[in-house]
């Protein structure tokens, strides 16, 4: 057992690293380069965008390693925000995490898996309704925000997503070792698929010449910097997920050593693969081909340019595997956040309980149930987009907590201290903080909903405290 919590230390360094890498690699790397290219226009700017995202990510994970080694408790960001800023800040993260950030991401990726399954089994799609359905028209709100339209009902893709979510929840109730085995299998498979895409793209010649997009024309240094920072949103989304491993800290063997190592090895390998993948996209498709990829599926377009329709089908299979792996990693790690909140009296319904297999099964099923309901709205991707700003804000606050806790809690043992302190955490805080400011300025519909959702959690927090 881990301390007296009921968790079991059954995850080694390899499993911890696979949680980090597997949670980072979802569908983003195969898609978001198209949107980034439409913003930055040229190949060098695309590579610089991904390089900058990689630099920020490595600075964040190195800093996060100090927190995980210092406070190896279940809950990850919830625990570190609670320790750094107080219980309200921790609750607001968990509140947003359950309502939309992670539950919505699980729903979105689960149904996305259903859509990619449709490339292999045409009968599975998101166009034909199964049973009754209803539509809520788009709602126009202040700050240029639009909600909806919402299409409530069940389709083949949504039913597949529900099946994936429930199957993952069920399997993970039987112990963290089984969940880790599933994660390891899917992560190794999708890393191998991404590596194969890189090798084939760099070594083989496409059937048609890559296309060059028209340049946006000369711009100032300040303009370049602004474009690079705003374009980080997609790259950040693709690099997200490294913090999941902190949620399962009590289940990792020798966490004071293995957690910081996993947070170094996993992100470094993923960032390197991301950079090489974008080089392959540029070689095969060119800037114009990346920007104009059908439905932004750059990975599928790359293999399609090399092997025709067979390549696109292979990529659909690889992305399907990648998505199921993400659902597993997000599901079994995020459930530990709600268990930690339940133990603090801030999450009801028995979320604090740990079953005889050492797993917070109640939290797993609460999260799965809510994610399944979100799949029926049809616009869960919009909900996830609305909370990406809040998610980044919480992560920035967590990394700044490294500096705060050095001052507030100097007596805590720090088996690993972040290299280059305080420069490394400050690079991430200042860089990501600049992105937050620019998003408030240039994408108000992307930012204010997440802030409003967090603010709604304030009275809920005080209600829970009064109730307890």
Say if CB 87 and CB 134 are below 8 A apart.
Answer: no
What pLDDT, on a 0 to 100 scale, did the predictor assign at position 383?
A: 63
DSSP 232-282: HHHHHHHHTTGGGGGGGGGGBSSHHHHHHHHHHHHHHHHHHHHHHHHHHHH
Give the CA radius of gyration of the chain: 21
As a whole-number percent, the residues of the chain with pLDDT over 70 amount to 92
Domains with residue ranges and CATH for the chain: 13-467 (1.20.1740.10)
Instruction: Give the list of residues 6+ apart from residue 413 with CB closer than 8 angstroms, or none.
Output: 70
How many C-beta neighbours within 10 Å does residue 309 have?
9
pTM for this prediction: 0.89
How many helices, marked H, and strands, marked E, lie in the chain? 18, 4
| HSE toward the beta carbon, residue 55, CA cutoff 13 A | 17
Pick 24 or 209 by higher pLDDT: 24
Q: Is the pLDDT of residue 434 over 60?
A: yes
Give the pair of three-digit tokens for residue 394: 């919480």
| HSE toward the beta carbon, residue 321, CA cutoff 13 A | 18
Q: Is the pLDDT of residue 435 over 90?
A: no
| Mean pLDDT (whole number) for 323-345 | 94
Give the pair of three-digit tokens for residue 126: 């998101």
What pLDDT, on a 0 to 100 scale, did the predictor assign at position 449?
A: 76
What pLDDT, on a 0 to 100 scale, did the predictor assign at position 384?
A: 64
Say if CB 183 and CB 152 are below 8 A apart.
Answer: no
| Mean pLDDT (whole number) for 152-157 | 89
Q: Is the pLDDT of residue 216 over 60?
A: no
| Mean pLDDT (whole number) for 92-104 | 91
DSSP 399-414: HHHHHHHHHH-TTS--
Say if CB 244 and CB 326 are below 8 A apart.
Answer: no
How many C-beta neighbours within 10 Å does residue 35 have?
18
With cut-offs at 50, 70 and 90, classify the pLDDT of residue 452: confident
**Region of poorest pLDDT, from 114-123, 321-330, 400-409:** 114-123
What pLDDT, on a 0 to 100 scale, did the predictor assign at position 442?
A: 74
Mean pLDDT rounded to a whole number for the chain: 88
Q: Is the pLDDT of residue 377 over 50?
A: yes
With cut-offs at 50, 70 and 90, classify the pLDDT of residue 219: low
| Mean pLDDT (whole number) for 203-217 | 72
| HSE toward the beta carbon, residue 296, CA cutoff 13 A | 13
Task: State the greatest distance between any 2 C-alpha atoms of the chain, in Å, as a whole number.
Answer: 67
Q: How far is CA 291 from CA 52, 210, 215, 316, 365, in A?
A: 20, 12, 12, 19, 40
Say if CB 150 and CB 383 are below 8 A apart.
Answer: no
Q: Is the pLDDT of residue 1 over 50?
A: no
| Mean pLDDT (whole number) for 156-177 | 94
List the one residue out of 112, 107, 124 whose CA is nearest residue 27: 112
CA–CA gap between residue 244 and residue 181 (Å, rounded): 16
Burial 55-89 (b: 16+ CB within 10 A, else e): ebbbbbbbbbbbbbbbbbbbbbbbbbbbbbbebeb
What is the per-residue pLDDT across 131-147, written as a single tens digit (0 to 9) for each?
A: 888 887 877 776 666 66
With cut-offs at 50, 70 and 90, classify the pLDDT of residue 221: low
**Left if phi > 0, otherwise alpha if psi is -120 to 50, otherwise beta: which for 38?**
alpha
What is the per-residue pLDDT across 290-306, written as a single tens digit (0 to 9) for each?
A: 998 887 889 888 998 99
What pLDDT, on a 0 to 100 scale, did the predictor assign at position 164?
A: 96
CA–CA gap between residue 22 and residue 66 (Å, rounded): 21
Q: Is the pLDDT of residue 218 over 60?
A: no
Instruction: Give the list of residues 6+ apart from residue 299 with CB closer than 8 angstroms, or none.
Output: 29, 30, 31, 197, 277, 281, 315, 318, 319
| Mean pLDDT (whole number) for 228-251 | 86
Place of tokens 């499993």: 15
| Mean pLDDT (whole number) for 232-238 | 82
What pLDDT, on a 0 to 100 scale, did the predictor assign at position 105?
A: 87
| Mean pLDDT (whole number) for 260-268 | 94
CA–CA gap between residue 22 and residue 262 (Å, rounded): 12
What pLDDT, on a 0 to 100 scale, did the predictor assign at position 3?
A: 47
- Helix-strand-coil split of the chain, %, nearest 5: 75, 5, 25
């Amino acid at each position: 057992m881990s301390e007296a919590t009921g968790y079991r230390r059954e995850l080694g360094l390899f499993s911890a690293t696979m949680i980090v890498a597997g949670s980072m690699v979802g569908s983003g790397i195969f898609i978001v380069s198209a949107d980034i290219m439409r913003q930055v226009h040229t190949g060098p700017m695309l590579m610089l965008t991904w390089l900058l995202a990689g630099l920020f990510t490595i600075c964040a994970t190195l800093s996060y390693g100090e927190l995980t080694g210092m406070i190896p408790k279940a809950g990850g960001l919830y625990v570190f925000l609670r320790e750094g800023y107080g219980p309200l800040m921790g609750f607001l993260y968990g509140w947003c995490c359950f309502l939309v950030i992670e539950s919505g991401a699980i729903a979105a990726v689960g149904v996305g898996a259903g859509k990619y399954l449709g490339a292999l089994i045409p009968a599975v799609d998101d166009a034909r309704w199964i049973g009754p359905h209803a539509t809520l028209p788009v709602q126009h709100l202040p700050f240029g925000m639009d909600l909806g339209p919402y299409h409530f009902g069940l389709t083949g893709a949504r039913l597949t997503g529900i099946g994936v979510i429930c199957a993952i929840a069920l399997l993970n109730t039987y112990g963290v070792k089984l969940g880790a085995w599933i994660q390891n299998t899917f992560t190794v498979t999708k890393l191998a698929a991404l590596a194969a895409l890189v090798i084939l793209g760099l070594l083989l010649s496409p059937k048609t010449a890559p296309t060059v997009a028209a340049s946006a024309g000369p711009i100032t240094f300040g303009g370049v910097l602004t474009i690079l920072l705003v374009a980080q949103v997609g790259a950040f989304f693709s690099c997200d997920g490294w913090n999941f491993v902190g949620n399962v800290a009590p289940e990792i063997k020798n966490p004071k050593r293995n957690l910081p190592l996993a947070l170094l090895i996993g992100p470094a390998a993923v960032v390197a693969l991301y950079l090489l993948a974008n080089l392959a996209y540029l070689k095969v498709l060119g800037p114009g081909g990346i920007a104009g990829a059908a439905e932004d599926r750059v990975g599928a377009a790359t293999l399609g340019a090399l092997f025709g329709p067979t390549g696109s089908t292979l990529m659909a299979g690889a992305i399907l595997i990648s998505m199921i792996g993400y659902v597993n990693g997000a599901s079994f790690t995020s459930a530990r956040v709600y268990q930690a909140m339940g133990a603090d009296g801030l999450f009801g319904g028995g979320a604090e309980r740990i079953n005889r297999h050492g797993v917070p099964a109640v939290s797993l099923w609460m999260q799965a149930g809510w994610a399944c309901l979100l799949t029926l709205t049809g616009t869960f991707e919009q909900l996830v987009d609305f909370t990406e700003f809040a998610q980044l804000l919480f992560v920035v606050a967590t990394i700044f907590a490294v500096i705060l806790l050095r001052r507030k809690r100097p007596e805590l043992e720090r088996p690993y201290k972040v290299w280059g302190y305080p420069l490394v955490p400050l690079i991430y805080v200042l860089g990501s903080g600049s992105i937050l400011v620019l998003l408030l300025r240039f994408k108000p519909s992307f930012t204010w909903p997440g802030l409003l959702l967090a603010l709604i959690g304030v009275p809920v927090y005080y209600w829970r405290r009064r109730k307890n």
